[in-house]
Every structure is written in C-alpha cells, then in structure tokens.
Chains A and B, each alone.
Chain A
C-alpha cells in the first residue's frame, strides 16, 4: 500500500508515468526483434503476424497502445506544468492524460476489430 503522504493524484501520475516508461523500455527489444524478422525471415514474420490475430494478443496490444499514449500524454502534461504559465488545474490535466490514453486504446481496438 502507498504510504499516506503519497496518496494524491500527482503521485499516482508520477508512478504510472514511470511504470509505463519501464514497460515500454522492456517492450522495445521485442519490437526490434520482430522488425528484424521482417528483413530476414519472411515465413517467421508471417507466422508471427498470424499469432497477433489472436484475441488475447490483441488485448495485450491494446494495453501497449494505452501505455504508449499514457506516457506521451503524461510527458506533455509535465512539459506544460514546467514550461507554460502556472495552472492549479492539475487534477484536470491528470484526468485528461488518462482520458487520452483510454481513447487511444479504444481507437486501436475499433480499428483492428
């Protein structure tokens, strides 16, 4: 459980920004591996692409898109906080960042369904 002094929106935003960043960093090598397949082993790539049609894999991909949009929106929020004129509407901005992330994921799901 989070210690009481950390239970506020800013800390949650920080935590999810870090965790999404870490998850994306872990994912990147796998991404490059598949790109490598495209160059070298056509058959293996086709097999892999076939695998990505499976529903659980689609869901995992959606999660990945959410993580990516979350990290992007969270990063933009931080840049705005530090470089634009100050606003007290932090919770609204944090909520917007989560909204963008969910919207990105839904858009991806709809496009692939």
Chain B
C-alpha cells in the first residue's frame, strides 16, 4: 500500500482534470495530475501551474478558508477550492474545473470580481456610524439580544460562491445577489448603525431583496454555512415594515 494513503482516502494513481483556458470564449484543456492523500482542488490547480503550464491564471491567498479568493466551479458546483478535498467531489477520478459562474472571465480560472463588489455598494453594505474617534467605544454585551441577532449574517468571506450559485443573478443582471443582501442585513443588525433607512431603501429598490425567489441555492453552497435566503427574508419583512411606517 502506498505510504500516503489513509483508510478514508482511496488514493488512485491519477486524476483526469479538465481546466478552463482562455476568456469567455475559451475551452477546457485536459491534464493528468498525480493523486495524493488529502489533496484539495486547489492543490490540483497549483500542481498543474507548477509542473505543466506556468501561464495558468487562478487566484488564492490564505489556503485555509479565510480570504475567499479561491472559489471556482468544480464539477458543476461553485466551491472554495482550498478547503474542498478531491475525494469529496469525484468518485471516478475526473475533475472539471472552471471559473465562477455569473462573473466576467478574465483568463482561465480568474474572474473579474468588480461587479460582485460594486453590488455590495449598491446594496449599501457599508457602515455609517454617528460617533467620532473621540467618543468612547460602543459596548455591546455579547449576551444581548442585539448582539446575538447580528450573528446570523456575519462571518462572510466574500468568496462569491453564493453569487455563482444564484439563478436570479444570471436571469436578472441588476440583481445585487445573496452576498450583498446578506451583508446589508448584517448592517441592519448592527446597533451602532446610524442610518438603517438608507440600507432598507437601497435593498427595497429594483434589483434588491424582492427579486429573490427563495430557492436557497445560495444557502446550499455557502462554504461557511451562512444562509443568505434567511437574511433576505428578514430584509423583505424589515423593508416592508419601514415602508408601511413611513407611508
């Protein structure tokens, strides 16, 4: 038995890997990659870039699921590749690795993330406080209801996996998407936020929360276990309530 094989990791000698090459009009290129124990999809891409074609374009940084830069489409599903073990996505030693869906392809596996982050801004996913640096720090007790409610939508790593999984993003180009709306809801839950109305007005306009069909493709794929659909449902209620209270 090979030294590096573990009982839960049926190590086969090689993987057949199709990797997207070129821009939007590119095609898949086949590589044969040696299999190793606990190999991640990012390991596979890195091996190809180091040993077969140094010009392969892709993105990563932390390799531990923190930075959100390594997302790609793996066998048809959006995945964070640094934390996706090969054995969890293929049984027949075949991988198809492409760029994330719903974003312009720059080259190979790298997409242009600008539209994704522009939409965060459109959904007002930024903080506006009322205190200056001379004021004392805001104290929010960890056990308080407000602080606990805020837990629901934080910890997003901006990987755009949910954005790539969402069909409404594909169908309706101005839809801001699950991540931006999830971020907007996190902002609404921040007790220090001084202008909640700004966020609710933004998410209630065209391309905002009311475009979501609640299919939950986003929640199915979010690698850190967030549920943007839940945040969007909460936004729908909050936006409706603020509309009816302001006339």
A8 to nearest B CB, angstroms? 5
Specify which chain A residues have a CB less than 8 angstroms from the CB of B216 in the assembled complex: 8, 10, 90
**Could you tell me the distance between the alpha carbons of A11 and B219 in the complex, rounded to whole angstroms?**
12
A48 within 8 A of B: no
Interface residue count on the A side (C-beta < 8 Å)? 15
Specify which chain A residues have a CB less than 8 angstroms from the CB of B192 in the assembled complex: none
Q: Are B217 and A3 in touch, CB under 8 angstroms?
A: no
> Contact string, A36-60, partner B, CB cutoff 8 A, digits 1/0?
0000000000000000000000000
B165 within 8 A of A: yes
Q: Are B78 and A10 in touch, CB under 8 angstroms?
A: no
CB within 8 A of B75: which of A4, A13, A78? A4
Give the A-B pair count, Cβ closer than 8 A.
Answer: 44
Interface segment, one of B19-27, B39-47, B138-146, B230-238: B230-238
The 5 nearest A-B residue pairs measured at CB? A4-B76, A10-B216, A14-B215, A82-B233, A10-B215
Can you show 29 pairs from A to B with CB atoms below 8 A apart? Answer: A3-B76, A4-B76, A5-B77, A5-B164, A5-B165, A5-B220, A5-B221, A8-B216, A8-B220, A10-B214, A10-B216, A10-B217, A10-B219, A11-B167, A11-B215, A13-B215, A14-B214, A14-B215, A81-B214, A81-B229, A81-B233, A82-B214, A82-B233, A82-B236, A82-B237, A83-B237, A86-B230, A86-B234, A90-B216
